[in-house]
Each structure stands twice: as C-alpha cells, then as structure tokens.
A = this chain, B = another copy of it.
C-alpha cells in the first residue's frame, strides 16, 4: 500500500512537473509566434507594432532619401520573415528571393542561427584576446585560397575590406595609382568610392578630371590623376573582340603612370563584374591586365564580395573562373561570409602583410572577427560544405541558363532576351530592344522586374551599365522547384 502510494505520488509529481514544463514550453512557443507576427522583439513597451504606412512615414523623417526602398513605386515591401529562398511580408505573402546574395546558405538558416545564438550567450569580444573559433575561421578562409594567400584580416563589411585592401596595396607598393574597371562598385567609404566608377561617374561629390584616353563612348573622367579607368571587358555588347584588346587599356594606364615617372599601385577588379551586368572577364583579359600591372610594380586586388564562396559553381572564387591561372595578391570578401551577419575579410600574402606591419601602427577593428561573427562564418562554411551548395549552384545555374535559352528560342523572345550569361547562381539576362542591334532595353527590364514582383511574387534585381540586366543571384539553397517557378 505504501509502495503504491509512493508510486502514485511519484507518478503524480512527475506528471505535474512535466505538465508545467510542457505548459512553459507552449508559452515560449506562443511568445515566439507573437514575435513572428509582431517582429518588434517585444523586449519593451517602447517597441509597439508599426504598420507599413507608419514605417514609410518615419523613414521620410529619419532616413536619407538616398537610402532607397525597393519597389518604392508600389509603396515598398515590408519584409518580416525569411526562410531559405523565401521572404514574407507583413501579410504573410511569400516572395521568391532571387536577389539576396548575402544570406548565402538561406535566410535564417537554422544552423547559422543556432551557432550565432549560442556564441552570443558565451562571449562577444575583440581580436586582442585569443579565441579558437576566430583563428579557425581565419585558417579555414586561408585554406580556401591558393598559395601564397594566407594572412587574413577580419573586418565588418565588403567596404571595409576593400578600403583595407587599398591600404595594404599602398603600403606595399608605395603608390596610390589604381586601375579600375568601368561600372565597378567596391563599396561606400570615401577611399573605395574613388575606385568605384559606378558611383563616382554619377555623383556630384567628385571633381572628375579628364583621363588621357578616349573610348568609343567619349572622354573618360576619374576622381583624380591617380585613378585610371578601363572599359568593362564586355564581350556581348563589345567594344573589342578579344580580352587582349581590352587589356590594352590597362597597359595604357600603366604607361600613363610611367610617363609621369610613377609606378602602378594596383588593379582592383571583381572576379565577376556584378553591378557591371554579370560580366565574367575572359582569361586573356585577366592574364594580360594583371601581368601589365605587375610589370609596373602593382598588385591585383580581387573583389569577391559579391561572387565568393562558391556562387559561380565552377570554382570557389570568381577569380579562379576560367583557365588563366592568375592568383591575386589581395582578395576581399564580405556579403555572404557571415550569412547576413556583418563580416568581411581581406586575405593577402605574407609579403604584403610584412610590408604593412612595417608601417609601425596597430590595426584594430572593434567588431571585425569577433567570436559571434566568426561563429556565423564557421556555420556558413559548414552548411556550404555539408550541403554541397557550390555543386548545387553549378547544377541549378546550368539548368536555369538552359531553360532561359529555351524560353528565348521557343517563345520567340529573341528580340527581348539578348544574352544569358554568368555561371552557377550568378546569372544575368541582358534585355534588349533588338537582338541584332543589342540595344539595351532599360524600361522593359524595369517593367519585367516589377511584373515579376507584382504578378508572381518574385524578387529580382537590375544591374548593368545600361540598367538592362536582370540579375539572378539568390541564396545558394535556391532549389530546382524555385528555378522552375522562376
């Protein structure tokens, strides 16, 4: 009897405890679902729910107008949730995201969320202290780069990475002279804007000066005599027939600096020109350009901020695309590295590192490579490798290209789709008025982009020198079903 009682009490108590535990769990879930609907984080009463109209109104007061809103012509999009290749607005409408190349292994990838959340609760401090995850990430990134690229500096963004890359190059070469590619964008800091034609050609911030070179488009201007701009090596809307001819413009730049008795400092180039309209430079362009620059004392900075980490499918880095065999002196990464967490890095050679170290000052970056960002980077790498997303990108990208060409041919869209280019999940569809004349059709591209959003809930982006390239650069988990839907 006593045993029975004990047993009953035990069962009762255990059950009660369990029920309480379950209720607590339920409550936590309810709280979470509240936050799903009201992503104010509910951490205080100071964060009430805001409607889309409220947000728009507050933005008018508190944001720069130059911080733009996507799809502003239809009131913008209030996005509150993300999952894989999908984004959800305040009504729960699901959008296929073909434009976010930041959340590389998918929006809110659970492994990244988990790793970051755990590290957040453990420690978040700076690189002046030693930390295993931080150094492991440096090692892992270095291991992905060909020799002799092995020194890593962590920063917060692609802009900071390119800024530091210029600093390293200048410390090493003692020259500020930089060769830049038409249409390129490398970031938003003052120094980086000076090497970003996409910005300096359109902003009144720069006193542009005439460059000693005329292209078929007319005279070229740059932010100063230390910047030499070369044409974008576009083989579709071509100014030249070979990469070699394009590379002659780089040689011209080196010669120009030499005539002034100066060496060349650097060429900065995206492995795949993204804002330029998904241009993958040809082997001869890369080889001849970099050779010319190196012959004049300069270094090659490969900007992998948009294209790194397997996006092209064919290779881990876009600078490895093709067969030119050229290894950059400095590589910069950003966007996808932390899957949305602020994380960037510069990878360089021991020789350049040594030159920078000899300058005599500490390099300190408060947040750069903190353990939380590093946990994000490690988890991104884990998912990328475990789920073989580089191979996946190659496969889906190939499938997408094939399907797009089919659409172009079968549906008689020859006079709309001029070119389909790129590799892996870095694709560009060049929209034209006429495929014979290859006239860029900016208005049509904008119309297609709007229609894709309004009618099919598909988010795309537009780039290119003439705003006529529909760019497909989705999270790498973009599936075959996503591709079919697109």
Where the two chains meet, the residues of A that have a C-beta atom closer than 8 Å to any C-beta of B are: 11, 14-15, 17-19, 21-22, 25, 32, 35-36, 39-41, 43-44, 46-47, 49-50, 52, 54-56, 58-59, 61-70, 76-82, 87, 100, 102-103, 107-108, 110-133, 135-136, 138-140, 142, 150-153, 156-160, 163-164, 166-167, 170-171, 188-191, 193, 199, 202-205, 334-335, 340-342, 353, 356-368, 370-373, 375, 378-379, 381-382, 385-386
**Are B113 and A125 in contact, CB atoms less than 8 angstroms apart?**
no
* 29 examples of A-B residue contacts, CB within 8 angstroms: A17-B18, A18-B22, A35-B118, A39-B132, A44-B382, A56-B130, A58-B138, A61-B139, A61-B151, A62-B142, A62-B150, A63-B135, A63-B151, A66-B357, A69-B130, A78-B130, A81-B122, A156-B156, A156-B160, A156-B367, A157-B366, A158-B366, A159-B160, A160-B160, A163-B163, A167-B193, A171-B204, A171-B205, A342-B342
Nearest CB in chain B: distance from A292 CB, A = 25
* Residue ID in chain B nearest A123 by CB atoms: B82
Cβ of A15: which chain B residues have Cβ within 8 Å of it?
Answer: 11, 14-15, 18
**Are A130 and B32 in contact, CB atoms less than 8 angstroms apart?**
no
CB-CB under 8 A for A44 and B386, given A21-B18, A82-B125, A190-B191: yes
CB-CB under 8 A for A188 and B130, given A108-B123, A123-B82: no
Complex CA gap A196/B292 in Å reads 35
Nearest CB in chain B: distance from A131 CB, A = 7
Which of B81, B100, B118, B361 meets A202, CB within 8 Å? B361
Complex CA gap A307/B121 in Å reads 25
Complex CA gap A123/B88 in Å reads 9
Given contacts A41-B118, A191-B191, 13 further A-B contacts (CB under 8 A): A39-B132, A40-B132, A43-B379, A49-B132, A65-B353, A66-B359, A77-B130, A87-B123, A108-B123, A117-B120, A189-B191, A202-B361, A334-B366
Cβ of A203: which chain B residues have Cβ within 8 Å of it?
Answer: 359-361
Complex CA gap A171/B204 in Å reads 8
**Are B14 and A79 in contact, CB atoms less than 8 angstroms apart?**
no
**Are A356 and B108 in contact, CB atoms less than 8 angstroms apart?**
no
